[in-house]
Amino acid sequence: MNEDTTNQNVTPANEEQGKQEAQEQPKAPKVEGVDSDALLGKLKKRIGKEQSEKNQYKDEVDRLKAQIEELEGSTDKKKSVKELSDDDKSRDELAAKDKRIQELQNQLIIFPM
């Protein structure tokens, strides 16, 4: 029964009136002395410039984030003071052994058997 009442309200005259109202929507008033095409061009240029700056800043932020991650990762790979000290000690011991071997080889040359 509700369908019958809604169909009764919609008549061809009502449909045409609704279409005319939709077509008669208020348009932006024209202002004397303003060239809308030039204004639109300026606004498009400004938006393009701002978008390009935004993209440049985004690229720079991404580059800096990558650099930060790289630097933080390199600190994880660094050796502790104790490890560096142990490496220095073992290097010194090897150098001392090499020096002693060289001295012994020189003595063998001086005193051949």
pLDDT tens figures, 99-112: 999 999 888 877 66
Please report, to the nearest 10 degrees, the dihedral formed by the alpha carbons of residues 54, 60, 64, 66 taken in order.
90
Q: What is the DSSP letter of 24?
A: T
pLDDT of residue 111: 67
Predicted TM-score (pTM) of the model is: 0.36
Tokens found for residue 76: 């994880």
Cα distance between residue 1 and residue 16, in whole Å: 25
d(CA 104, CA 101): 5
Q: What are the pLDDT digits (tens) for 76-89?
A: 566 777 888 888 89
